[in-house]
Structure 1
Amino acid sequence: MTVDASSASPPAKQGPGFPEFVALVAFLMALNALAIDAMLPALPAIGEALGVARENDRQWIITAYLLGFGVAQIVYGPLADRYGRKPILMLGVGLYVAFAAMAAFAQTFEMLIVARLGCGLGAASLRVLAVSIVRDRYEGRTMARVMSLSFLVFLGVPIIAPSVGAAILTVAPWPWIFGVLAISGAAVMLWAAIRLPETLKPEDRLPIRVGRIAGAFREALTERQSVGYTLAMTAITGALFGFLNSSQQVFAHVFDAEAAFPLVFAAIASGIAAASLLNATFVERFGSRMLSHWALIGFTTVAAVHALISMAGHETIWIFGVLQGLTMFCFGFVAGNFGAMAMEKMGHIAGTASSAQGFISTTFGSIAGFLIGQQFAGTATPMILGVATCGAVALACVFWAERGRLFQAHHASVRTAES
């Protein structure tokens, strides 16, 4: 008999109540989204100020951050399992604040890229620790609900982030965008320091032993469900990063509508936020597999249709906005659920498993997104084809993870999240 794990979730430990806990996790995650999207409208100004001759090279401002964010996740998990979640979180957010401030004072493009890489190294703790802290307190469908609600804020930030960046540019030079990141990070760091208790029990702390860590990584990277959903998340993340890398150039050069970029970008990002809210509402009723598998099929289908329209030469800003918005709407049902399902059987090594999964999905997703972005040559077609391809790869990974059976759990013996 399959047991609904949410009904067996332990009561939350002392600390913030459910609404504040969700809000804190969401804002920790939102710092990452803000660091990616706020400077998108400023890329031309940054390139001009720092003498970046080749326009596609500006994409390194995004990719350097994402690479740091991905690579460092492999370190934070074992540290968090040994020393607890809170001290490692404080270390990571502190690095985020320091390197964001460094970016604000960068005098060369190389210095800015180093600062962005360092900021990503600090932000990696946000991803690993947020997931681990949630996993410490909840599991199963309740965990999926927390992650979906957190994603609502995390993915709602991109709705306003480019507009925030554009607004800052109207009253101050581009370095102030990074200054706002530093101030925001410091504020959330203070909130967590005051209100967030340590969620890892002393008896659950694991020593830093090479053999144990290697064993934990081996388990996370060999268990079929964990691997399948991690690879699927890598592909779907690559699609998102490909869109982010190319979006400003698409609006500036394909549609000659750079001024409309923050507004249309916000509309597209709103689709992700709306889907996350709907997912949080329905995931406990229908299950994360049912929702996310259908959403992934929708993601891939819409992106493929969009690619055909673009290749036929019928792309307009309205078609782009609507179809890309539908694609990202489907993404909103996929992201939180895939992360929760990848972690379903990893509760006993949550920190290490989260870091391994995050390392793979973000590092290789950022590389895929960068490769998609580098294909930009005056049309939106390479970006859209890249998104469709990533969707197809993700679908193949899910099909493998579920042994060819989609839409419902079928592991009979399990203490899983699905019924």
Structure 2
Amino acid sequence: MAIAANTTLDSLPLGKRELIFLLALLMSLNAFSIDAMLPALEDMARELGAADGNDRQLVIAVYMIAMGIGCLVPGSFADRFGRRPIILLALASFTVLSLVTALLTNFEALLAVRAINGVLGAGLIVAPVAVVRDLYEGDKMARQMSLIAAVFITVPVVAPSLGQAVLMVAGWRWIFVLLASVAAIAAVWVYFRLPETLSPANRQLIIIPAIARNMHAALFNRQAIGYVTGSMLLVGSVFGYINSSQQLLQDYFGVGAAFPLVFGGTAAVMAVSNILNSQIVERFGARRVSHLGVIIFVAVSAVQVWSSYVHPGSLYWFIPLMSINLGLLGFLGANFGSIAMQPFAQTAGAASSVQTFLRMTGAGIVGALIGQSFDGTSIPFAWSLLICSSTALMLVLFSERGKLFRRLNKGPRHRAIP
């Protein structure tokens, strides 16, 4: 599709709703590749010869960490060659590698291909964010990211059930065939409907020192760093939940075959909160909404720690508190990301890459550590929620120089460094 000289919302061939659903599909593919695996982890580990009970978590953790590392690369290429080529390349690799994974016969090869798929699939996180930044800024960007998140959050709601449904009629390998089919459909949709949104005036040269300087500026800008690292910790705590959810919910809390419904039910709250955030963020501002959200997150996590000791093994305490924490992420993720991206209109690709790299790699490592700390109870996980959220609040205070609840101020924009 031809590149417009100055792409705007009004000039897009697809409407706003179609744009939201398309970007949500792209950003959800990596989540689909994680959450659809959850019911199959035990079968995969047993068939492919995983040695230890917690090793099954590596199918998820390796993908998350590799995806975070991969995020460091595509943004600069998206700033030079455009968003469309990066998205299409990521979709092609996702399709092929998903099919390759369906043919593997040992656990080590599975982890290796999952890592490669995570690295190459990172473009599906970085480039869509750059598309949104091309078209929106400030609280409007936060609103659109919330709407997109509200759509793709349905993935962790339905993906485990889809994975479970596949297991009822076929083996776990067919889950990867399903993933490949969805990615192929997304590629066709992008090819025919998504135009290039990068303005020719904002194209950047592939000059390594300049890219490094732009990434350094995007990462170590004081306004950005607290929100990026704070988001990393909050997302990391959720990754810890995902990594250990099959053991935590099925083995410790004893939900059995209801696991997909219980897991999906907690995740569904995130969709509702993202929709609510999209309705209020422009009125109250991304800072005010997210600052209140992280404070409440700390308080709820403290109650989770208390309940893990006083009501051990009680699903009736764990699920409501976990649902509240996941719901609060709907008021944190999009808003934190939008605040961190605000100064970087001309280098949105590079900024999205380096920020997403830190956020996702760090979150993947944090999530893996939390998952591996599983000791047959919910106590380590409860403490991880409290530690991660409390530290995130301190990081936000650093970025805001100790002052919370201010309106988003556009301020000076970072210019590309030649």
TM-score of the two chains, using structure 1 as the length reference: 0.94
Contact 1:243 1:387 in 2 (8 A): no
1:85 CA displacement: 0.9
SS of the residue 1:160 aligns to = helix
- Provide Cα deviations, 1:255-314, integer angstroms capped at 9, x if missing partner: 222212111111100111110010011111111111111111111211111111102343
Contact 2:218 2:224 in 1 (8 A): yes
Q: Is 1:21 aligned to residue 13 of structure 2? A: no
Alignment partner for residue 363 of structure 1, among 353, 361, 364?
361
Change (3 A) 1:94 1:410: closer
Contact 1:12 1:138 in 2 (8 A): no
- The worse-fitting range, judged by mean Cα deviation, of 162-171 and 306-315 is 306-315
The residue identity in structure 2 corresponding to 1:340 is: S
Alignment of 1:204-219 (within 5 A): 204-219=202-217
The residue identity in structure 1 corresponding to 2:346 is: H
Q: Is 1:32 aligned to residue 30 of structure 2? A: yes
1:203 CA displacement: 2.6
Contact 2:286 2:407 in 1 (8 A): no
Q: Distance in 1 between matches of 2:389 and 2:66?
A: 24
Alignment partner for residue 240 of structure 1, among 224, 227, 238?
238
1:412 CA displacement: 8.4
Alignment partner for residue 135 of structure 1, among 129, 133, 136?
133
SS of the residue 2:121 aligns to = helix
Change (3 A) 1:410 1:160: closer
The runs of 5 or more residues in structure 2 that have no matched partner are: 1-6
Q: Is 1:53 aligned to residue 51 of structure 2? A: yes
Aligned to 1:197: 195
Aligned to 1:374: 372
The residue identity in structure 2 corresponding to 1:21 is: L
1:252 CA displacement: 2.0
SS of the residue 1:404 aligns to = coil
Q: Distance in 2 between matches of 1:79 and 1:410?
A: 29
Q: Distance in 2 between matches of 1:78 and 1:180?
A: 31
Q: Distance in 1 between matches of 2:173 and 2:189?
A: 25
The residue identity in structure 1 corresponding to 2:387 is: T
Change (3 A) 1:177 1:142: same
1:360 CA displacement: 0.2
The residue identity in structure 2 corresponding to 1:360 is: L
Q: Distance in 1 between matches of 2:411 and 2:118?
A: 40
Contact 1:228 1:398 in 2 (8 A): yes
- Provide Cα deviations, 1:146-184, integer angstroms capped at 9, x if missing partner: 100000111111111111111110011001111111111
Aligned to 2:185: 187
Q: Distance in 1 between matches of 2:12 and 2:311?
A: 58
Aligned to 2:72: 74
Aligned to 1:407: 405
SS of the residue 2:347 aligns to = helix
Contact 1:275 1:333 in 2 (8 A): yes
The residue identity in structure 2 corresponding to 1:395 is: L
Aligned to 1:312: 310
- % identical equivalent positions: 41
Alignment partner for residue 97 of structure 1, among 82, 95, 99?
95
The residue identity in structure 1 corresponding to 2:154 is: G
- The alignment covers a number of residue pairs equal to 408
Aligned to 1:327: 325
The residue identity in structure 1 corresponding to 2:132 is: V
Q: Distance in 2 between matches of 1:413 and 1:92?
A: 34
Alignment partner for residue 293 of structure 1, among 283, 291, 294?
291
1:12 CA displacement: 4.2
Contact 1:248 1:258 in 2 (8 A): no
1:10 CA displacement: 5.7
Q: Distance in 2 between matches of 1:410 and 1:112?
A: 44
- Provide Cα deviations, 1:308-342, integer angstroms capped at 9, x if missing partner: 11023434112111110011111111111111111
Q: Distance in 2 between matches of 1:284 and 1:410?
A: 10
1:413 CA displacement: 5.0
Q: Distance in 1 between matches of 2:79 and 2:399?
A: 27
Contact 2:232 2:359 in 1 (8 A): yes
The runs of 5 or more residues in structure 1 that have no matched partner are: 1-8
Q: CA-atom RMSD, angstroms?
A: 1.6
The residue identity in structure 2 corresponding to 1:172 is: A
1:414 CA displacement: 5.4
Alignment partner for residue 126 of structure 1, among 109, 124, 127?
124
Q: Distance in 2 between matches of 1:273 and 1:223?
A: 30
Q: Distance in 1 between matches of 2:114 and 2:275?
A: 31
Change (3 A) 1:313 1:53: farther
1:415 CA displacement: 7.6
Aligned to 1:3: none
SS of the residue 2:280 aligns to = helix
The residue identity in structure 1 corresponding to 2:14 is: P
- The worse-fitting range, judged by mean Cα deviation, of 361-370 and 306-315 is 306-315
Aligned to 1:6: none
Alignment of 1:216-295 (within 5 A): 216-295=214-293
1:197 CA displacement: 0.5
- Provide Cα deviations, 1:378-408, integer angstroms capped at 9, x if missing partner: 1011112112211111111111111111112
Q: Distance in 2 between matches of 1:183 and 1:413?
A: 44
SS of the residue 2:104 aligns to = coil
